[in-house]
Structure 1
Amino acid sequence: MECAYCAETIRDEALACKHCSRDLRVVRPVILEIQDLVTELDALQRQLDQAYNRLAMRETPIRYTLQLGALYVLLPTIVLVCAHYLLLFVLNLSPVYLRVASLLIPLPFGLALLYVRKIGFGGAFLAGVIAAMISVTGMSIVTNHIDGVPILPENARVWREIFEYAASIALSFGTGNMIGMFFFQVLPQVMAAGGRPNAAAFRIARLLGQHVGQEQLRRRARIIQDLLRTAGPLAGVLATAGGSIYAGLKGILSP
């Protein structure tokens, strides 16, 4: 936290500022209470944003759906199909480059769904599924027009590869959304949290070693609490990113 007198950064458990030597025992509870209020205010703001989205969808459902579809389904679909044409037919590059591009292009759209529209993972994944289906169909039409390859797959293996490719695009949307959630919601909450580790964090801290001072135990519990708050969302980001990469590259890298 910051000292209320000199604004320098100090430890949460400090009773006096090491920079200006002012006594913090009176103002410290107020600072911690303000930090808790800021965290609660952020949570209320997110709930308000979600309520505004639901209200807009109910009042003007057609306009709301068309705007979302144009910005977060049609636009990434156009970019993906253009990347397919440019990389494979203009530059004549390996399909690996297309798969990598297809993993990267949806990321900012999934992130924007959370940051701009306040839409979570479920909505981002649904938008990704629709965009993936349309873009894969568009790529098949382009390939048919240039190389004469049938639009519909001819066997089960090709169907599986197309499904895996579409799944990687949809998961990439979800990955971008979860990255936004981690950086715009989880991390700010952890950084703004006051120096009051919960009981579970204290129990884990004591299990790691009881023969320490109270100040060190509190510091250890605070670190554990921050790790617990960030571990779940970070694991979700890594899982969806790993699934997207595996589904996108499996078909062309496996023998």
Structure 2
Amino acid sequence: MSRKRKKRRKYITFKQILPNMITSGNILTGVLSLVLAWHGHILPAAWLVPVAGIFDFMDGKVARTLGGSSSFGVELDSLADVVSFGVVPAMIFYSAYMKGFWGVVGALVIAFYVLCGALRLARFNVTSFCSAFQGLPIPAAGTFLAAFVVAGYALPPLAAAAIVFCTGGLMISNLRYSNFKMLHARNLSKTKTSALAILLVILFVIFRNAMPLAAVSLYVASGIIGFDWGRWLATDDDEATEEI
């Protein structure tokens, strides 16, 4: 006689659902941004990219706080990032600066950027890390491109193409970038955090609409010059100095 095996139902708890709901907000924001860009509303579309970044930060924060991390959530987060920080900023940048640039060349440049973003996420999912990221994280890369539009800068097509190409290259590079997710209340220096907050306020006063570009440029440049913001902000060197 063959015994019937009872299938066990795997119930998904709320602490596992909530982070995925926040990740869905990331996807929704990215799609809305893409629709706005399609209809020619480039500036509001660009502003939605950092909003998607807030969702991207919060889903991981909530998952770690509630203990609701899962492999499903990791994959969903990567798919969301490809849309919100890969395809969307590329289309915004193309629409703002490179439409019709040397025929199909502009399209190939943004395709290269999206491909680099996908490769960056794939490498991230199979690489164990402790503090520093390997290569420029795609949320920072997407925000960097969108910040040019927010700042209202008029870029020549060739300069825009060079920025997109170099940003894509940074994502697949071996440069180390700070991982702020390793920081928490117990190892965060209040003095340095206050100093950073004052710096951001000064940047806002000086640059106004260009403040997001100035802020994210500091992060992009930090990997190139080898400066670790996470290590600088942390008081616990044991956690901040571990590398991939």
Do they superpose with TM above 0.5? no
Larger radius of gyration: 1
TM norm structure 2: 0.33
Compute the TM-score of the two structures, normalised by the length of structure 1.
0.32
